[in-house]
Amino acid sequence: MDAQRKAMADVLRRYKIQDERVIEAMGKVRRHLYIPEEIRGRSDPYGDHPCPIGFGQTISQPFIVAYMTQHLEPKPGLRILEIGTGSGYQAAVLAELGAEVFSIEIVPELADHARTVLAAEGYGGVKVKTGDGYKGWPEHAPFDAIIVTCAPDKIPAALVDQLKDGGRMILPVGTGVQRLTILEKNEDAFREIPDLYVRFVPMVKGPEDKAEKNQDF
């Protein structure tokens, strides 16, 4: 697996990921261990594609993980909120870069799995909450950066509220084919920068008023 991880790092360089720290962190985090044991044997964890983690969910292709991580410019002490913990892999990469990570997952089994692996791999400081990401995590707000790894059809207003002034958020937006979007918040003004076309799993709406969750900010 060490050799495969090294090969993955070389693929990231070929994709022109420029932040060597991100490549180094991804070269350290043992991606295969975040894939639940039952499906690990049938998977190709370091391949240049998304990888199934059960419950119909996937960890993104390594390039997308690196690309989104690079945009957040994570560094020690940065407080980052992730929506869609999934396997815990993206959270581990952020923690490896020294960030203080808060992550929310709606599927309880995945949240439990992520907590266990993160603790076993030395990232027990990552805080994982089982819950609905549309609400964010107000008790720990504001965040320097927010990364959403499932796709809402509009940018969730609560997440924008919980972003620090000067902070940035990266998320896929849309239905079907989505647009990776970078949102920068400065003195309560927002700049939305459309980026790559991507395909993430949809951000699931909870049982409450769906219209409210999709309001514009």
Residue for token digits 């420029």? 18
Residue 72 binds ligand SAH, judged by CB under 6 A: no
* Distance separating alpha carbons of residues 52 and 55, to the nearest angstrom: 9
Residues whose CB falls within 8 Å of the CB of residue 207, separated by 6 or more in sequence, listed in order: none
> Residue from 89, 123, 137, 143 that binds ligand SAH (CB under 6 A)?
89
Of 12, 17, 22, 59, which lies in the binding site for ligand SAH, with binding defined by CB under 6 A? 59
The tokens describing 152, both together, are 């809402």
Alpha helix ranges (H) inside 15-107: 20-28, 37-40, 62-72, 89-96
**60 an active-site residue?**
yes
- Determine the Cα–Cα distance for residues 9 and 15; give it in Å rounded to an integer: 10
Q: Which stretch binds ligand SAH (CB under 6 A): 3-11, 81-89, 160-168, 176-184?
A: 81-89
Enumerate residues 177-216 that contact ligand SAH by CB under 6 A.
201, 203-204
Query: Could you say whether residue 67 binds ligand SAH (CB under 6 A)?
Result: no
The answer to whether 61 contacts ligand SAH (rule: CB under 6 A) is no
Among 26, 57, 80, 128, binds ligand SAH (CB under 6 A): 57
Residues 97-116 interacting with ligand SAH (rule: CB under 6 A) = 104-107, 110
CA dist 116 and 34 (Å) reads: 10
Contacting range for ligand SAH; rule: CB under 6 A; set: 18-26, 79-87, 119-127, 171-179 = 79-87
Residue type, 30: R
Minimum Å distance from CB 149 to ligand SAH?
4
121 alpha carbon, distance to own chain's centre: 18
Is residue 86 near ligand SAH by the rule CB under 6 A? yes
Q: Does 134 bind ligand SAH (CB under 6 A)?
A: yes
* Rounded Cα distance, 14 and 173, in Å: 26
Catalytic-labelled residue, pool 43, 60, 87, 103: 60
Whether omega before 142 lies within 30 degrees of 0, making that bond cis, reads yes
Backbone angles phi, psi at 130, to 5 degrees: -85, 120
Please tell me whether residue 170 binds ligand SAH under the rule CB under 6 A: no
Show which residues are catalytic: 60
Q: Which residues bind ligand SAH (CB under 6 A)?
A: 53, 57-59, 83-84, 86-87, 89-90, 104-107, 110, 132-134, 149-150, 201, 203-204
